[in-house]
């Protein structure tokens, strides 16, 4: 389960980088060029979009990398990443895989006990 959590966290982070670049780029574009926001839409909270665009993929990749040795911490980071993706961008065609992979990877990492020890990390 730890290997699956590692893989899911890395994939979520890599797909999330694309989502984050688009979100951060649109926040900057509408701030610098008001006519783009008037033609399409303005973001309600561009500061949070910028923060989530950076932190969500970072936390997914870091959580996936930690899943082998520190499964509990890695799982928590991946769940926080899934929350950031959902809170900033919602659940749509662009975010369904980063949210799903990060959340499933977080659940698998938290559920995994150390394979070489008789007790889990709790």
3-state SS string over 57-98?
Answer: HHHHHHHHHHCCCCHHHHHHHHHHHHHHHHHHHCCCCCCHHH
Please check whether residue 121 lies inside any domain of the structure. Answer: no
pLDDT grade, residue 116 (50/70/90)?
very low
Please check whether residue 120 lies inside any domain of the structure. Answer: no
Please check whether residue 118 lies inside any domain of the structure. Answer: no
Please check whether residue 117 lies inside any domain of the structure. Answer: no
- Residues 52/23, Cβ–Cβ less than 8 Å: yes
Enclosing domain of residue 102:
2-111
Measure Cα distances from 43 to 27, 29, 47, 62 in Å: 7, 11, 9, 28
The pLDDT tens digits for 65-100 are: 999 889 999 999 999 999 999 999 999 999 999 999
Cβ contacts of 48 within 8 Å, gap of 6 or more? 87, 88
Please check whether residue 42 lies inside any domain of the structure. Answer: yes
Give me the number of domains the chain comprises: 1
Please check whether residue 92 lies inside any domain of the structure. Answer: yes
Q: Answer whether 0.85 is exceeded by the pTM.
A: yes
Residue 63 Cα to chain centre, angstroms:
9
Please check whether residue 43 lies inside any domain of the structure. Answer: yes
């Amino acid at each position: 389960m730890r290997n699956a959590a590692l893989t899911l966290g890395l994939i979520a982070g890599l797909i999330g980088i694309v989502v984050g670049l688009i979100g951060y780029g649109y926040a900057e574009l509408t701030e610098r060029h008001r006519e783009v926001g008037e033609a399409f839409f303005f973001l309600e909270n561009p500061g949070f979009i910028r923060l989530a665009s950076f932190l969500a993929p970072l936390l997914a990749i870091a959580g996936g990398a930690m899943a082998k040795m520190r499964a509990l911490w890695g799982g928590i980071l991946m769940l926080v990443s899934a929350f950031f993706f959902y809170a900033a961008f919602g659940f749509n065609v662009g975010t369904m895989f980063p949210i799903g992979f990060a959340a499933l990877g977080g659940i698998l990492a938290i559920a995994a006990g150390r394979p070489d020890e008789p007790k889990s990390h709790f």
